[in-house]
């Protein structure tokens, strides 16, 4: 049985781009079928300024479907409460998550670090988060660790008593880390980023929970490298998905 000493506490999330077929040219060739029929990808590279202008026009006027002809698969490790929020994004997303039925869940738990703002001020929909005091950080760390230790000990005891993993996992909290593959396209990613990140260029501000925003920021960095023109047009047009 795992003893409480063997629990791992983390404050980060990880995002790895494991597979992609995504470039600005994918947007252009899909868009130009409207006027030019089938084209080669080389043809599209001939006039970069025109390409940039076309992508910007599509974004500005919300012609969204040309941004769907591409694919990115991410491997994400984050607490379960992040995945609860993440999987609300239904359109243009495919998910596969590790199973608590088929494998024993590992004792890795989320504890926010000192950079995590702890105190909410204002009313829902119009609140801000401000720094916690050192005493509040200590209280959060202590309470979470204690609760995780109790929960994981109960989980392990049930498994040792011969109870099925799918039943014993009910004792585990949403601060437990999970992992999943998430596949999307640029359009569905933009919709996600518009809602799950805060950004000075956003025309419609959102107020996401910091932990899912951390995931979003890492995905955004990977996507920006793959599709720089599309990414620039997204920012230039207020970070609203077309």
Ligand X SMILES: Cc1cc2nc3c(=O)[nH]c(=O)nc-3n(C[C@H](O)[C@H](O)[C@H](O)COP(=O)(O)OP(=O)(O)OC[C@H]3O[C@@H](n4cnc5c(N)ncnc54)[C@H](O)[C@@H]3O)c2cc1C
| Residues tagged active-site | 196
Q: Closest by alpha carbon to 240, among 207, 214, 202? A: 202
Task: Pick between residue 46 and residue 90 the one whose CB is nearest to ligand X.
Answer: 90
Binding of residue 195 to ligand X (CB under 6 A): yes
Task: Pick between residue 153 and residue 206 the one whose CB is nearest to ligand X.
Answer: 206
Minimum CB separation from ligand X for residue 151, in Å?
24
Q: What is the DSSP string of 135-200?
A: HHHHHHHHHHHHHHHHHHHHHHHHHHTT--HHHHGGG--TTBEEEEEEEE-HHHHHHHHHHH---T
Task: Pick between residue 55 and residue 241 the one whose CB is nearest to ligand X.
Answer: 241
Binding of residue 62 to ligand X (CB under 6 A): no
Q: In the bound complex, which residue of the shown chain has the CB atom lying closest to ligand X? A: 90
Q: Closest by alpha carbon to 201, among 230, 236, 227, 232? A: 236
Binding of residue 206 to ligand X (CB under 6 A): yes
Binding of residue 187 to ligand X (CB under 6 A): no
Binding of residue 191 to ligand X (CB under 6 A): yes
List Cβ<8 Å contacts ≥24 apart for 81-86: 81/110, 81/174, 81/175, 81/209, 81/211, 82/13, 82/209, 82/211, 82/212, 82/215, 83/178, 83/180, 84/174, 85/196, 85/208, 85/209, 85/212, 86/182, 86/212, 86/215
Binding of residue 64 to ligand X (CB under 6 A): no
- Interface with ligand X (CB under 6 A), residue from 6, 99, 207, 228: 207
Maximum alpha-carbon separation in the chain: 68
Stretch that binds ligand X, among 52-60, 131-139, 158-166, 189-197 (CB under 6 A): 189-197
Minimum CB separation from ligand X for residue 129, in Å?
13
Burial label, 130 (beta-carbon count in 10 A; 0-12, 13-18, 19+): exposed
Q: Map residue 5 onto helix, strand or coil.
A: helix
Minimum CB separation from ligand X for residue 239, in Å?
13
Task: Pick between residue 51 and residue 185 the one whose CB is nearest to ligand X.
Answer: 185
Minimum CB separation from ligand X for residue 106, in Å?
28
Question: Between residue 76 and residue 95, which ones bind ligand X under the rule CB under 6 A?
Answer: 88-91
Task: Pick between residue 37 and residue 124 the one whose CB is nearest to ligand X.
Answer: 124
Binding of residue 2 to ligand X (CB under 6 A): no
Token pair for residue 55? Answer: 């992508």
Site residues (CB under 6 A) for ligand X? 88-91, 191, 195-196, 206-208
């Amino acid at each position: 049985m795992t003893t409480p000493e063997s629990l791992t506490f983390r404050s980060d999330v990880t995002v790895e781009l494991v597979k992609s077929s995504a470039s600005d040219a994918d947007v252009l060739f899909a868009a130009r079928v409207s006027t030019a029929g089938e084209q080669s990808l080389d043809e599209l590279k001939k006039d970069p300024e025109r390409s940039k202008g076309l992508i910007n026009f599509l974004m500005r006027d919300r012609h969204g479907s040309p941004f769907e002809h591409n694919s990115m698969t991410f491997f994400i490790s984050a607490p379960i409460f992040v995945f609860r929020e993440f999987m609300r994004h239904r359109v243009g997303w495919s998910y596969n998550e590790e199973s608590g039925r088929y494998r024993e869940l590992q004792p890795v738990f989320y504890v926010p670090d000192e950079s995590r703002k702890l105190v909410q001020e204002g009313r829902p929909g119009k609140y801000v988060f401000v720094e916690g005091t050192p005493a509040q950080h200590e209280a959060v760390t202590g309470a979470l660790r204690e609760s995780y230790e109790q929960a994981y000990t109960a989980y392990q005891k049930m498994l040792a008593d011969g109870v099925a993993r799918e039943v014993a996992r009910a004792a585990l909290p949403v601060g437990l880390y999970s992992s999943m593959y998430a596949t999307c396209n640029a359009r569905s990613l933009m919709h996600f980023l518009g809602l799950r990140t805060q950004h000075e260029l956003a025309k419609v501000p959102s107020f996401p929970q910091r932990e899912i925003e951390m995931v979003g920021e890492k995905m955004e960095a990977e996507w920006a490298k793959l599709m720089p023109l599309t990414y620039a047009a997204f920012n230039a047009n207020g970070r609203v998905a077309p």
